Structure 1
């Protein structure tokens, strides 16, 4: 009888642990995108209309290349910064298709923000840079 009680308690603990791990997906609603060295991350605005599409490409030395595709009527201001830190300096220009492009050196891995401002509309696109 004692063996059955111990087995049922252990079964209850194991099932409780499994249910707890399965419920994590309900708590994390909108995870941040993650990008690493030699990868490209595609982001787009949800609050600015018409939509602005961005491409964040990071090379092996954590040098970042940004491409911001926008409508001709838009003139977005772009800031790339670590969360809670100062914006990095970007060498900017326009590519052959008229899209805004910039490049700079990322200072550290961790949480970053791409801040797009178009007139009065402003949107922050967070992402994580992994080592």
Structure 2
């Protein structure tokens, strides 16, 4: 005689997952939103060197620049939060941004900086391939 196998069709309470919430789609959505916000966020590059910019009534805001060079009141030149000598400025800029084409730079110069040093920095940036060079100033309403 053949024996039939008996299957236990009873569901145990610990195996019942009908009330559980599946968190996988929620986690996927959070990661997608995180990636979206990271990609669409524009990061503002600020200099960590304290600079008192000169006042100008006709100052206009500049869109994103490829490079920010800071000249402090004691006439030190800063590039990406590290001091650079004027003789090494061109080589440092070319090493960081090897791409050609018209590039833009902003010079954050303190109001006590000599005009001669400002012109030397502008000259080194032009020799490095920057065509659009702006000097930062504070606007008339501040």
TM-score by length of 2: 0.30
Greater relative contact order (CA < 8 Å, ≥ 6 in sequence): 2
Higher helix share: 2
TM-score by length of 1: 0.32
**Greater radius of gyration (CA):** 2
